[in-house]
Amino acid sequence: MHPHPAEEPPTIGVEEEFFLVHPGSRRLVAAGARVVARASAELRGGVSGEFTEFQVEGRTPPCSGPQELRGELRRARAALAAAARAEGLRLCASGTPVLADDSGTGTTGADIGDHPRYRAGLLQYRRLLDQFVLCAFHAHVHLPDRETAVLVSNHLRPWLPLLVAMSANSPYHHGQDTGYASWRAVIRSCFPCLGPPPYAASLDEYGHLATAMAATEAMLEPGMPFWDVRPNPHLPTLEVRTMDVLPDTDDTVAMTLIIRALVTTAASRVADGDPGPRVGAELLRAAYWRAARDGWPGQGLDTLTGHVLPSSEQAQRLVDDIRPALHAYGDEDEVTAFLHRLRQRGSGAERQRARMTHEPHLSAVVDGCLVQETCADGCG
C-alpha cells in the first residue's frame, strides 16, 4: 500500500543549528544568548539557544510543501545571520567546529546554554560533553499517533546510515582533518542515549526501554529520548535527528522531502500490519560507523542485505522504494535534483575538503560554510 495522490501530504518542519564565528579568526564565539535576543524580534518562537553559547537554532513552522519550507528556512537563516552580524559575528553551517574557540579547551561549564536540561546533562555525562559542540538539522513529519510513530521508526532504522552519508558535513574538527565525512556522527556515538532508536513492537515497549535507560542515567528523562528517530515529546510529529546541518537550503528541503516520503511509505506498511524489519543493533552500529567514515560517494553497508554498496546505489534503492509517495506529493523533481547535485559536486564534507585543496587554509573552509541568506531572502 502506498500513499494515494489524492491524499493530503503531512506537514513538515525543520530545526537547524548553526555556529557563531568571528569573521577574522573564524573561531567560535560564545554569543548565543545575545544573537537569540536580536533574532527574536523577527522570528519570535522560531529561534532559541542551543547546548552551548557557541550555537543558535532556527525553527520553521509546519509547512505544506517544498516552496513554503524553503521560504521559511531562508527567512530564519537570514534573520539569524543578520542578528549575528549585528554582534560582529557570522553564522556557520558545519556539523562540527572547523576551528575551536580561542581557548581551544573544548566545552566548559561557562559555555553551556542557560537551560536546566543542559546543566543536568553536564552533571550526568561529565567530560564526555567536552566535545559535544555539534550542529544538526532535524526534520519533522506530522504523525500524531504515537503508536504508529514507533512502528514507523522500525521501518526507518535501516535507512538511517544512508541519511548520515548523504548529509555528512563535518570532516574537520578543531583544526584537524579527522579522516571522516561526519565527525559529528562519531562524537554522538560515544553517548549511550544517542544513535538509532531500538526496535520496538509497541509504544509500551518503547516506553519501557526509555524508562530503563533513564534508570541507568544513560538518558536524562524517559519522556524525552534523544534517539535519531522519535515521536517528538512536545509536537504531533515524528522527528528524524540523524543529519549534519547542511550549507544549502535546497539540500535541506530535499532531504526533508525524502524523510516525509519514508515516513508515509512506512505508515502505509504499518497500516497493512508490517511491523518493520528487525535490523540488529550491532549491524546498524557498524553501518553508522561506515557511513560516518566514508560518507558520500563512499561505500556503505546496506543493513537489509548485509552487502557493502556505493552510497549512490543505496540512494537509488531508497528513492525507488519511496517513489510512489514522492510522485503523489509532487516532490520527485526536487529529490532527483538533489541526487544530481550530490553526484556532481559531492556532499558537504567533500566540498569542505575541496575548498581546502584549492585554498589551503581552514579559514577558507569556514568561509565556504557561512550562511549566505540575507534579509532580501525573507526578513520582515
The per-residue pLDDT for 328 is 97
The pLDDT averaged over each successive group of 10 residues in the chain (380 residues) is 63 98 96 96 89 94 98 97 97 96 59 72 78 95 96 98 98 97 96 91 94 84 86 94 98 99 98 95 96 96 95 97 97 98 96 95 96 73
The per-residue pLDDT for 1 is 44
0.85 exceeded by pTM: yes
CB 39 within 8 A of CB 56: yes
CATH fold for domain 12-377: Creatine Kinase; Chain A, domain 2 (3.30.590)
**Residue of 246, 245, 324 lying closest to 4 (CA atoms):** 324
- The single residue listed with the C-alpha cell 510512489 is 324
Question: What is the distance between the alpha carbons of residues 2 and 263, in angstroms, rounded to a whole number?
Answer: 11
Bridge partners (DSSP) of residue 141 are 12, 238
CB 310 within 8 A of CB 297: yes
The per-residue pLDDT for 130 is 84
Question: What is the distance between the alpha carbons of residues 38 and 19, in angstroms, rounded to a whole number?
Answer: 16
The continuous run of DSSP H or E covering 138 comes out as strand 136-142
The per-residue pLDDT for 104 is 56
Which amino acid is residue 194, in one-letter code?
Answer: L
Which amino acid is residue 144, in one-letter code?
Answer: P
Rg, C-alpha atoms of the chain: 19
The separation between CA 15 and the C-alpha centre of its own chain, rounded to angstroms, equals 8
